[in-house]
Amino acid sequence: MAHPKSRTSKSRKNKRRKNIAISNIAFRTCKTTGVNHIPHRAYIVNGDTYYKGKIIIKNTK
């Protein structure tokens, strides 16, 4: 099994990985609330927490 001759430096590793970062976040519009949000994430509207258009945590105020 092959082993690296020397350790890869942090800067060299980061140069290789610099293009992996997310460039643009795609937003979706909720059919229930009409709010733009990041898909597969919970989002808050008027104190209520929604996920997939359904209320998960209701505002207690």
Domain limits of the chain?
23-61
pLDDT at position 43 over 90: yes
CB 56 within 8 Å of CB 42: yes
pLDDT at position 9 over 90: yes
pLDDT level of residue 26 (50, 70, 90 thresholds): confident
- Residue 37: CB atoms within 10 A of its CB come to 17
pLDDT level of residue 45 (50, 70, 90 thresholds): very high
CA 23-41-28 angle, 5° bins: 65
pLDDT at position 21 over 80: no
Kindly state the average pLDDT of the residues 5-13: 91
Residues 23 and 43: their CA atoms lie apart, in Å, by 21
Give whole-number Cα distances, 47 to 14, 17, 58, in Å.
39, 38, 7
